[in-house]
Structure 1
Amino acid sequence: MTDRAAFHWDETLYAGSADHYAIGRMPYPGAVADVLRTELALDGRGRLLDVGCGPGSLTLLLAPLFDAVVGIDADPEMLRRADRAAERAGIDNVRWHHLRAEELPGGLGTFRVVTFAQSFHWLDRPRVAAAVRPMVASGGAWVHVGATTHRGEPGNDPLPHPRPPHDEVDALVARYLGPVRRAGRSLLPDGTAGGEEEVMRSAGYQGPRRFEVAGGVVRERTEDEVVSAVFSLSYAAPHLFAERRPEFERDLRALLRMASPNGRFSERTRAIELVVWQP
C-alpha cells in the first residue's frame, strides 16, 4: 500500500488538546533558533512557513529571524492559542491560517524556510512534499524538527524531584482506552509511517544535512503540567475518554501524587534533531 493510499485525515486527532499542548509540552530551546540562524545564514529577511504549527511553540521562537512568518494548522483551537501567545509576547510579524497541509500551496506564496515540527508524520507526505517544493524560494530550505517535548529522557540519575512515572501513566491510558494506540477515530497498532528520506528524495529534494541540539537540561515540572502533557497526546486526547475523562484524570493525579506527594517533578530534556533539505 502506498503512503498516500494509507493516509486518512481525521479532524479529531488533537481535539480538545490545544490548551494542554501549550501547557504540557516543554518549550523548544533557544539553541534551535541559534543553529538554524547559523546553518541557514538567516539574517532577519525573508519569510517562514511553519506547517502544523500547533499553538505556535516553534513559530514564535523563530519569528525574530524573518521579516514575516505564516503558521498553518488544521485545528482552529491550536491557532487561537497561538494567536494569544503571539499577542502576549508582542510578536506582530506572524499570520495564522486555518489550513490543512494537504491544501498547500493555498495562495501563500514562497518562503525562505519551511518548517515541520513533530507534524510531517501525520500528513499525506508525498502530496505535501510535492506541493511545498515550489513554495521554497531559491536557496531556501525545508526543515524537519524531530523532537519529543511531552516527556524527558529516561534515566536513574538523581534529580531535584522524582521523574514522572511515564510507564505507569501509559499503562493507565491503556487501561482506559485499550492496548492498541489510538489516534483520533483510528487505531495505530504499528505507530506512524517511517521512510521519510525516501519520501523526500522521491519528491526531488536534496540532502539531508542533520544537526543536533543537545538535551540534558533539567526542568522542573508541576503535576498540572504533567497532566496536560498526557492530554496533549494524540493517543490520549481529552475526547477519547468521553464521559470517563473526569475519572481518568482523578486516577492520573492519584498516580502522580504517589510518585511525588508535593506535585513537583524533574526531567532532563531530550536532544532535538534538525534535518535540512533543499529542493
Structure 2
Amino acid sequence: MSDVAVNFGPTAHDYARYRTGFPPELFDGLAARGVGLPGHRVVDVGTGTGVLARAFAAAGCTVAGVDVAPELLAEAERCGAGEAAVSYHRAPAEDTGLPVGAWDVVSAGQCWHWFDRPRAIAEARRLLTAGGALVICYRDFSTEPGTVGAASLQLARTYNPDWPEVGGLAENPHWRDELAAAGFGDLHGFAFDTVVPFTHEAWRGRMRSASGIGATLTPDRINVFDADLARLLHDRFPDQPLQIPHRVDALIARRSPHPPASP
C-alpha cells in the first residue's frame, strides 16, 4: 500500500452516480453457495454507497452497512430511499461495535485491500456465527492493452504516479492463507466476466471516483485530468456506449467453530 492519503468523501457523489453495481450473477452464485439467503443477517463492511448492502437487503436479508466516511454513508442513505431498509453505521471494518456472534454473513465489496487485514479478519470472526461466511467481492475493469481501461489508467498514472491502488482477489492469493491461519475454512471462490456499457460522461465519472483521482488529487488536478480524459475518449474511443470488460471475483470463507491455531 502507498502512503498517499486517500479520502473518498470528496468523490462520494461521483462514486454513487457512476460506480456500477455488482451484477445479478454474483448474488445468484452466492445464493447457490448458501450465502445471502432470505433471512440471513449480513454486515457489509466498507459499505461505501451501499451497493452490496442494498442488494442483500433486496434478497430478503437483514443488513447493517458499515463505513468510516460520513459522505459515503449519506449517499448510501440517499440511493436506498424507498428500497429495502439497510441500517448504516459509521465505524471502521476492524471495530464495528456490532453484536458478537449475531451475523450469518460479513461481506466486503471492492474494499478488502484498504483494511488492516489481521484486525478485519478478527472482527469478522467475532461477528459471525459458527459456520457463518465472510465474502470478499471485487469487480474490476480490464486493463488489457488497447482497452479503454488501459488507456484511462495510463493517463491517470501521469497525474498520480503514486496511485495507491492495489489489485483485488486475483492479485492477492495470500489472502486465502491469512484467512485459513485465522480460523476460517471451506475457502472457495468463483469468478466470471461481464461487459458493462458506459457513456463517455459516465466513464469519466467512474474514473473521477477512483482512489488515485477523486480520492487523492486536488480539485484543480481532478478537473484537468477529466478534461484530458474527455479528449482521449473523443479521439481514440469515439463510439458510444463504450463496452468495458469487467472481471467479477468472489471469495467465500466459513468461520470455523474452533479457535485459530497458535503461531
Q: Shorter-chain TM-score category? A: 0.7 to 0.9
1:240 deviates by: 0.8
**2:179 corresponds to:** 200
Find the residue that maps to 2:89 and give its secondary structure. strand
Q: Secondary structure at the match of 1:234?
A: coil
Which one of the candidate residues 221, 245, 250 is aligned to 2:222? Answer: 245
Q: Cα gap change, 1:42/1:247 in structure 2, threshold over 3 Å: closer, same or farther?
A: closer
Aligned Cα root-mean-square deviation (Å): 2.8
Distance in 1 between the 2:2 and 2:196 partners? 36
Q: How does 1:1-279 map to 2 (within 5 A)?
A: 12-40=6-34, 43-88=37-82, 90-92=83-85, 94-104=86-96, 106-109=97-100, 110-148=102-140, 151-152=141-142, 154=144, 164=148, 166-177=149-160, 179-182=161-164, 195-212=174-191, 214-216=192-194, 218-237=195-214, 239-261=216-238, 263-279=240-256
Q: Is the 8 A contact 1:51 1:101 kept in 2?
A: yes
| Partner-residue secondary structure (3-state), 2:81 | helix
Residues 1:8 and 1:205: Cα distance change in structure 2 (over 3 Å): farther
Tell me how many residue pairs correspond in the alignment: 251
Instruction: Mark the runs of 5 or more structure 2 residues left unpaired by the alignment.
Output: 257-263
The 8 Å contact of residues 7 and 123 in structure 1, kept in 2 or not, is answered as: no
The whole-number CA distance in structure 2 between the counterparts of 1:63 and 1:75 is 21
Q: Closer, same or farther in 2 for the Cα pair 1:154/1:167, shift >3 Å?
A: closer
Matched residues in 2 for 1:134 and 1:239: separation? Answer: 32
Distance 1:124 1:7 in 2: 14
Alignment gaps of 5+ in structure 1: 1-5, 157-162
Give the superposition deviation at 1:43. Answer: 4.1
Sequence identity (%):
25
SS of structure 2 residue aligned to 1:240: coil
Return closer, same or farther for 1:126/1:181 CA change in 2, 3 Å cut-off.
Answer: same
Q: TM-score, normalised by structure 1?
A: 0.79
Partners of 1:68 and 1:8 in 2: how far apart?
36
Amino acid at match of 1:255: L
Query: What is the SS of the residue equivalent to 2:10?
Result: coil
Query: Which amino acid letter does the alignment assign opposite residue 68 of structure 1?
Result: T
Aligned residues of 1:55 and 1:78 also touching (Cα < 8 A): yes
CA contact (8 A) 1:7 1:124 kept: no
- Conserved in 2, the CA contact under 8 Å of 1:44 and 1:65? yes
Q: Which moved more, 1:259-268 or 1:243-252?
A: 259-268
AA of the residue aligned to 2:212: Y
Provide the rounded CA distance (Å) in 2 between the counterparts of 1:244 and 1:69. 37
Asked if the contact 2:2/2:163 (under 8 Å) is kept, the reply is no
Say whether the 8 Å CA contact 2:45–2:107 is kept in structure 1: yes
